[in-house]
Amino acid sequence: MSSMSDRLFELLDGNRLKEKQHEAFVMQTVSEDGWPHAAMISAGEIIATSRTGLRIALWKNTTTAGNLIRTGQAQLAAWWKGAAHYVKMQCEPLPPLADAAFDRERFSCRIVSVKEDIAKYADLTSGVSIQLHNPEEVLKRWAVTLEELKR
């Protein structure tokens, strides 16, 4: 499958950030030495632009941003409403925004494949959960970041 399910699209649609503030996802890239590199991203750093496209904002000068610039490939692992989702993406850098509020690398990603994993014999009850130190401040930053990703 190369498009998001309704369930995954709901998670990444950029809406109801307060509800999704405890969700964290793992983004995997390939490092220069050929090993997988994992980084955590939040609902405020990724947005679905369609069922087959995503935009991602990463802090500049991070290993993940460098790997993505170099290879253009990543896999996102997310957990939502009883399913694990594995999304392989082909990504390309977006031009910097002159008036960006935060110093981020922005990427436009095309979904190459999506696997939705649901076990018949067990319920997936959680994925990675986070507790924000200052939810009000972080949610405001996320809202600005997602608005900038739409541009």
How many domains is the chain partitioned into structurally?
Answer: 1
Please indicate, yes or no, if residue 1 is contained in any of the structural domains. no
Q: What is the tens place of the pLDDT at every residue in 53-73?
A: 999 999 999 999 999 999 999
**Given phi > 0 = left and psi -120 to 50 = alpha, else beta, which region is 121?**
alpha
pLDDT band (50, 70, 90) for residue 126: confident
| Residue 19 lies in domain | 6-150
Q: Which own/partner pairs from 91-97 qualify as long-range (CB within 8 Å, at least 24 positions apart)? A: 91/56, 93/68, 93/69, 94/55, 97/148, 97/151
| Measured distance CA(98)–CA(107) in Å, rounded | 16
Q: What is the tens place of the pLDDT at every residue in 77-121?
A: 999 988 999 999 999 999 988 898 998 999 999 999 999 999 889
Q: Say if CB 55 and CB 46 are below 8 A apart.
A: yes
Please indicate, yes or no, if residue 78 is contained in any of the structural domains. yes
Q: What is the tens place of the pLDDT at every residue in 8-57?
A: 999 999 999 999 999 999 999 999 999 999 999 999 999 999 999 999 99
Residue 15 maps to which CATH number? Answer: 2.30.110.10
